[in-house]
Amino acid sequence: METGMLLVISGPAGAGKGTLINLLREWDPSFVFSVSCTTRGKRNYEEEGREYYFLSEEEFDSHIRQHDFLEYATVHDHRYGTLRSEVETRLEQGLNVVLDIDVQGGIAVMQKMPSCVSVFIYPPSFQDLLDHLHTRGTEKEEEISKRMANAHREVGQMGEYQYLLLNDTLDTAFDRLKTIVQAERMRSSRFHPVIPEKRDTEN
Ligand code: 5GP
């Protein structure tokens, strides 16, 4: 069986990663989202096991000791980690897996799984990010400042990614993402078409 595609999505907070990933999964349900572990508190719209597995520091440490993580990193003062179990078996089953992780994690995954497809989503301006974080309203001012500082750092590393995707309007950004996925599916390393002598005329 063919192995699935591992799609690594990174980009600053407020760049629209989550929305684009949801659109991708609606468009192609063979993409499953890798639910990460985090030690940050749950936001009121979030559900355990849907956005994240919300863990205590001790539980997180225990996963580290058991080598359960493909990668883990500290982001905005909290710890986040990608579980191997969310990624490896699914790829072996031929499913496509999409990760929403920060640049430290993205680079670690690129090193461990070089056949992954890496996409960095960037905004038209830093002001757009700031406006988006204010409209989203999930973070306090101090948290927003942290995310803006981190955004500048992350953008400085975007050259590590294979694809740089501008999110100026959602429709065009989603078209760009579909283009990447469609092209990646046609890679000779990913599939082996069997060409018959004649076309099957019954279809
Ligand atoms: P938030 O707390 O706003 O959901 O996410 C904060 C940041 O953590 C985002 O940049 C997100 O991509 C990143 N993140 C989420 N899960 C993981 C993970 O498993 N590993 C790493 N390295 N970063 C993650």
**pLDDT tens digit string along 14-50?**
999 999 999 999 999 999 999 999 999 999 999 999 9
Distance, CA 73 to ligand 1 centroid (Å)? 9
Q: CA–CA separation, 17 vs 151, rounded Å? A: 13
- In this prediction the pTM is 0.94
Concatenating the DSSP letter of every residue in 119-161 gives: EEEE-S-HHHHHHHHHHH--S-HHHHHHHHHHHHHHHTTGGGS
pLDDT at residue 201 tops 80:
no
CA 106-56-16 angle, to 5 degrees, is 35
Work out the pLDDT band at 3, boundaries 50, 70, 90. confident
CA of 93 to the centre of ligand 1 (A): 25
Superfamily, domain 6-185: P-loop containing nucleotide triphosphate hydrolases (3.40.50.300)
DSSP-assigned letter for residue 178: H
Q: For a ligand 1 pocket test, name from 7, 20, 80, 154 the mutation site with the most ligand atoms within 8 angstroms of its C-beta.
A: 80
Task: For residue 202, report the distance from its CA to the centre of ligand 1, in Å.
Answer: 49
Which 3 state secondary structure label does DSSP give 67?
A: coil
Which of 101, 133, 138 most suits a substitution to test ligand 1, by most atoms within 8 Å of the C-beta? 101
Residues 42/78, Cβ–Cβ less than 8 Å: no
Domain boundaries, the chain: 6-185
Ligand 1 close to Cβ of residue 9 (< 6 A)? no
The set of residues, in sequence order, having a beta carbon less than 8 Å from that of 91 and lying 6+ positions away, is 3, 4, 6, 97
